[in-house]
Structure 1
Amino acid sequence: MNLYPNLSQFSSKEFALNEDPVAAQIEFRRVTKMYGPIAAVKDVSLTVRQGEFVTILGPSGSGKTTALMLLAGFAAPSSGDILISGRSVAAVPSYRRDQGIVFQSYALFPHLTVRRNLEFPLEMRGMRAADRVKRVDQMLERVHLAEFGDRMPAQLSGGQQQRVALARALIADPPILLLDEPLGALDRNLREQMQGEIKRLHREFGKTTICVTHDQEEALTLSDRIVVMRAGQIEQTDTPEALYDRPVTRFVANFLGEANILEVHDFQIETGAAQPSGTVAMVRPERVCIAGSGAPKRADAEQRQSVTGKVEDMIYAGPLRRYQVRVGGSMLIVREHVASGRQTFKAGEEVCLDWLRSDVRFVER
């Protein structure tokens, strides 16, 4: 894929800056993208509201990156249509779509300084030199890189390169920002720091933003809504809280965090509501409480289901402990916060697990 087309063939008029850009609404209308006999994206319909931050989440091969490439104009739909602010862009080439793009590799020009990397899109749009300097200075301040304008990309840390890439995507004030696995090349601590930076920039600029990632934590942290894709189709779209607490399908429940699927366990499931046909019961590991086998009953015991089991493993993960508890012939996962004075259980110990019946969710098989 050529990320840098020969821009010299286009006139600066084609790249003229919008004097008053507005956040754009995006629509996918029954979009399908075929690669030979394989549908990378199949009959996808989605509306993204103006100024919204939407993350497309899914495993490898789910179609999330293809959906982003279709929106960016690097691929054309086999059928269906893509609209931006009510106008079809399915046949519009990428260089004529007013979008800022941040790639996983950052795609900075290695032979240009930070300042020249930011100037480039403004120069291609015909902005005067004095105005370019002013705009670049303002953007460097906003991404906290005012002292790094004369450095080359290779002289920057990963987080600094990421901020330069974000600044370059935003500097021409496009109505749409596209992020392709934007934090995939960073270590965990830096990813968390940059998540906060991206959220700050989104609040500040108010751009309609589409982010593609396979990182569940990143999606939950950044998004107004999350689109979960599987095998080229949308499995579920909702707010982060709703997706995690009320997944519709077993796939979403397992992909967005961990899930104890109670169907396979050797005990009668007790819930506060009738189980719809074609569903299985599920409870999140952090909703399950663990206690010693001789512990007294809880005050709300009548609202809970209790089972006994044996600890098979305990994993310490800083603020959390993760237990694997065998109940009959099956395994339940428990996640609890580490707290002073809380009992720790070792492999082989008998324990009691319980959870509120109201915390049980039903998901499609």
Structure 2
Amino acid sequence: MLIAEEKVLERSRPTPQIEFCNVTKMYGQIAAVRELSLTVRRGEFLTILGPSGSGKTTTLMLLAGFESPSKGDILIGGKSVADVPSYRRDQGIVFQSYALFPHLTVRRNLEFPLEMRGINASERLNRVDRILDRIHLKDYGDRMPSQLSGGQQQRVALARALIADPPVLLLDEPLGALDRNLREQMQVEIKSLHKELGKTTICVTHDQEEALTLSDRIVVMRAGQIEQIDTPEALYDRPATRFVANFLGQANVLENCGFKLESDSTPTPGTVAMLRPERICVAASVAPTRADGDLRQSVTGTVEDVIYAGPLRKYYVRAGNAILVVREQVASGQRTFQPGDEVRLDWLRSDIRFVT
């Protein structure tokens, strides 16, 4: 009876949309990706994040079909696609360079993937009109790509990838060519489209803010392997390794810091303490103790440098043997400390994390 129930439960579990099964990709003697095993859930937005040479782009190219694995298998919808060419994988792809046809109008760029699928003219017209309206470019159909701004071209590239309604959307550094304000606008647009359409989306980027903003889960890669995979909040707040802590945001690693560190948790062998800069409070050395002082650790130090960055101010404070980075929101009437000032730093003992 129990075996029968287990079989029913197994059949009721949804099939993962994408699976990498012990995938390795070799270029000569170099392993760009090593023993990669990864499951992507249907409808989720997964971002692959990592520095140059980490294997993130190779992973996307393997999924897109532009590269073939040297070992292992890739499954989409439970079926192997390791030997299936790119044009038969039914995926929408957006590149950093947009890759729009420069000799075709916006409308013809959008019609092209529909023509390749044999969709009739009236249906093509309806789909193009609908998606132009959705990306707020309904009056731009007759323009050439060169007549559009960078943000408009990126929206057309997204629309072209989505217009044939593929089950999977691949984004390769999609916002890398845009300036900061446009990137932020497009992040909102991409997040809105994902929420509306529910497409399984794989995004490759080196931009931490972009990954944190867009993703349901983030894969941090290093040297061709997964260093850690989790939700944005968990990765930022509970990094498993020193590499992740420093790559995703900024971290104060409290190693041989010259003062006794207090924490609510017990470190395990082979770990080191880490504290995020925004978790540290800075005050004058003679300021009254905070109301929750019994939950905090305090140290005194000397300001070595101050950096103003619009809404944020960064202090570099020498405390003991360490220089701690403190990041605070700029507020009206707030005291600003200068290099040479003696200050008190304090933080909740519960904010200390231990990483390998």
Check the 8 A contact 1:23/1:207 in 2, yes or no. Answer: no
Where does residue 256 of structure 1 map in the other structure?
248
TM-score by length of 1: 0.93
After TM superposition, the structure 1 = structure 2 runs for residues 43-62 of structure 1, keeping only pairs within 5 Å, are 43-62=35-54
| Cα drift, residue 23 of structure 1 | 10
Q: What per-residue deviation string (whole Å, max 9, x for no partner) do you get for residues 2-24 of structure 1?
A: xxxxxxxxxxxxxxxxxxxx997
Where does residue 350 of structure 2 map in the other structure?
358
Check the 8 A contact 2:23/2:37 in 1, yes or no. Answer: yes
Name stretches of at least 5 consecutive residues in structure 1 with no aligned partner. Answer: 1-21
Where does residue 214 of structure 1 map in the other structure?
206
After TM superposition, the structure 1 = structure 2 runs for residues 217-296 of structure 1, keeping only pairs within 5 Å, are 217-296=209-288
Q: What per-residue deviation string (whole Å, max 9, x for no partner) do you get for residues 253-277 of structure 1?
A: 0000000001131111111121111
Quick one: distance in 2 between partners of 1:269 and 1:29? Answer: 42
Q: Does 1:310 align with 2:302?
A: yes
Distance 1:23 1:201, change over 3 A: farther
Name stretches of at least 5 consecutive residues in structure 2 with no aligned partner. Answer: 1-13
Q: Does 1:94 align with 2:77?
A: no
Check the 8 A contact 1:24/1:51 in 2, yes or no. Answer: no
The code of the aligned residue for 1:43 comes to E
| 4+ residue segments displaced more than 3 Å | none
Q: What per-residue deviation string (whole Å, max 9, x for no partner) do you get for residues 177-222 of structure 1?
A: 0000000000001000000000011011110000000000000000
Distance 1:325 1:138, change over 3 A: same
Check the 8 A contact 1:309/1:352 in 2, yes or no. Answer: yes
Check the 8 A contact 1:73/1:92 in 2, yes or no. Answer: yes
2:162 corresponds, among 170, 174, 185, to: 170
| Cα drift, residue 303 of structure 1 | 1.0
| Cα drift, residue 340 of structure 1 | 1.3
Quick one: distance in 1 between partners of 2:241 and 2:256? Answer: 16
Where does residue 157 of structure 1 map in the other structure?
149
Quick one: distance in 1 between partners of 2:301 and 2:205? Answer: 37
| Cα drift, residue 175 of structure 1 | 0.1
Where does residue 330 of structure 2 map in the other structure?
338
The code of the aligned residue for 2:44 comes to E
The code of the aligned residue for 2:339 comes to A
Q: What per-residue deviation string (whole Å, max 9, x for no partner) do you get for residues 113-153 of structure 1?
A: 00000000001111111111111001101111101000000
| Cα drift, residue 72 of structure 1 | 0.1
Where does residue 11 of structure 2 map in the other structure?
none
Where does residue 109 of structure 1 map in the other structure?
101
TM-score by length of 2: 0.95
Percent identical:
77
Quick one: distance in 2 between partners of 1:279 and 1:290? Answer: 26
The code of the aligned residue for 2:171 comes to L
Report the number of matched residues. 343
More divergent stretch after superposition (98-107 vs 127-136): 127-136
Quick one: distance in 2 between partners of 1:43 and 1:152? Answer: 44
Quick one: distance in 2 between partners of 1:82 and 1:99? Answer: 14
The code of the aligned residue for 2:141 comes to G
Check the 8 A contact 1:32/1:77 in 2, yes or no. Answer: yes
Quick one: distance in 2 between partners of 1:127 and 1:323? Answer: 60
SS in 2 for 1:28: strand
SS in 2 for 1:148: coil
